[in-house]
Homo-oligomer: A and B are copies of this chain.
Amino acid sequence: MSDQMTSLTKNQEMVLGALSHAKAPMSAYAILDELRSEGFRAPPQVYRALEKLVAGGLVHRLESLNAFVACSHEDCHTSGLIAFAICEQCGLVSEFSDQAVSTRLTHWIADHKFTNTKTTIEIRGDCGTCSVAG
């Protein structure tokens, strides 16, 4: 289960499938409900699959939402830090990375002798389409 996940288990496939078809982030329980018809019965089945998928970079957890999205970033694995812009109206999640932001944060971390394990950047608001729609 390193950077590139080679093969997925049945449950991981199903969870990733549910997230891939979703138009907005899904909570673990929303995934569970969707997969009940395929045999899922309990939260740990979902959470265990999510854990592996997140570790493998195929799924991201949105901390400010307690929800999950399939990765949509071109080359998620090679670029640095990833930021998310999340539309609170339609659920659209835009994934992006910015070299300058990564650099600055990395410098702050180094300057403060901090050992970084994970960094979260999440912008909440309304996307262009929804802003216009008001």
- Residues on B with C-beta less than 8 A from A100 are 100-101, 104
- Say whether B125 contacts A115, CB under 8 Å: yes
Question: In the complex, A87 Cα to B98 Cα: how many Å?
Answer: 24
- Say whether A112 contacts B98, CB under 8 Å: no
Give the one of A115, A124, A126 with max B CB within 10 A: A115
Question: In the complex, A40 Cα to B109 Cα: how many Å?
Answer: 39
- Say whether A131 contacts B114, CB under 8 Å: yes
**Which residue of chain B has its CB nearest to the CB of A126?**
B115
- Say whether A108 contacts B120, CB under 8 Å: no
Question: In the complex, A88 Cα to B116 Cα: how many Å?
Answer: 10
- Say whether B128 contacts A113, CB under 8 Å: yes
- Residues on B with C-beta less than 8 A from A122 are 63, 119-120
Question: In the complex, A105 Cα to B132 Cα: how many Å?
Answer: 21
Q: Chain A 83-126 against B: per-residue CB contact (8 Å), 1 yes, 0 no?
A: 10101100000101010110011001100111111111111111
